[in-house]
Amino acid sequence: MLDALPNRPDLPAEIARRRTFAIISHPDAGKTTLTEKFLLFGGAIQMAGQVRAKGEARRTRSDFMQMEKDRGISVSASAMSFDFREFRFNLVDTPGHSDFSEDTYRTLTAVDAAVMVIDGAKGVESQTQKLFEVCRLRDLPILTFCNKMDRESRDTFDIVDEIQENLAIDVTPASWPIGVGRDFMGCYDMLRDRLELMDRADRNRVAESIEIDGLEDPKLAEHIPAHLLDQLREEVEMARELLPKLDPQAVLEGHMTPIWFGSAINSFGVKELMDGIGTYGPEPQVQRAEPRQISPDEKKVTGFVFKVQANMDPKHRDRVAFVRLASGHFHRGMKLTHVRSKKSMSITNPVLFLASDRELAEEAWAGDIIGIPNHGQLRIGDTLTEGEPIRVSGIPSFAPELLQSCRAGDPLKSKHLEKALMQFAEEGAAKVFKPEIGSGFIVGVVGALQFEVLASRIELEYGLPVRFEPSQFTSARWASGPKQALDKFIDANKQHIAHDNDGDIVYLTRLQWDIDRIGRDHPDVTLSATKEMMV
Mean pLDDT by 10 residues, the chain (535 residues): 50 88 81 82 56 38 48 52 88 62 76 90 77 77 91 87 87 90 86 81 65 80 87 90 91 92 88 92 89 90 86 64 91 91 89 70 89 83 89 77 85 84 79 86 83 85 86 89 91 90 88 87 86 58
pLDDT at 45: 53
Helix spans in 403-482 (H): 414-427, 449-462
CB 41 within 8 A of CB 84: yes
C-alpha to C-alpha distance for 114 and 344, rounded to whole angstroms: 34
pLDDT at 416: 85
Give the three-state DSSP class for 380.
Answer: coil
Specify burial of residue 344 (Cβ count, 10 A radius: 0-12, 13-18, 19+). exposed
pLDDT at 74: 38
pLDDT at 203: 59
Give the three-state DSSP class for 414.
Answer: helix
CA atoms 69, 320, 27, 196: torsion sign: negative
CB 303 within 8 A of CB 384: yes
What HEC string does 262-293 produce? CEHHHCECHHHHHHHHHHHCCCCCCECEECCC
C-alpha to C-alpha distance for 296 and 252, rounded to whole angstroms: 17
pLDDT at 513: 87
DSSP secondary structure code for residue 245 in this structure: P
Report the DSSP pairing between strands 497-499 and 431-435: antiparallel
Helix-helix angle 156-167:226-242, to 10 degrees: 30
CB 118 within 8 A of CB 148: no
Angle subtended at Cα 464 by Cα 458 and Cα 466, rounded to the nearest 5 degrees = 75
Cβ count near 528 (within 10 Å): 12
Say which amino acid occupies 516: D
Cis amide leading into 291 (omega within 30) = yes
pLDDT at 102: 67
pLDDT at 376: 72
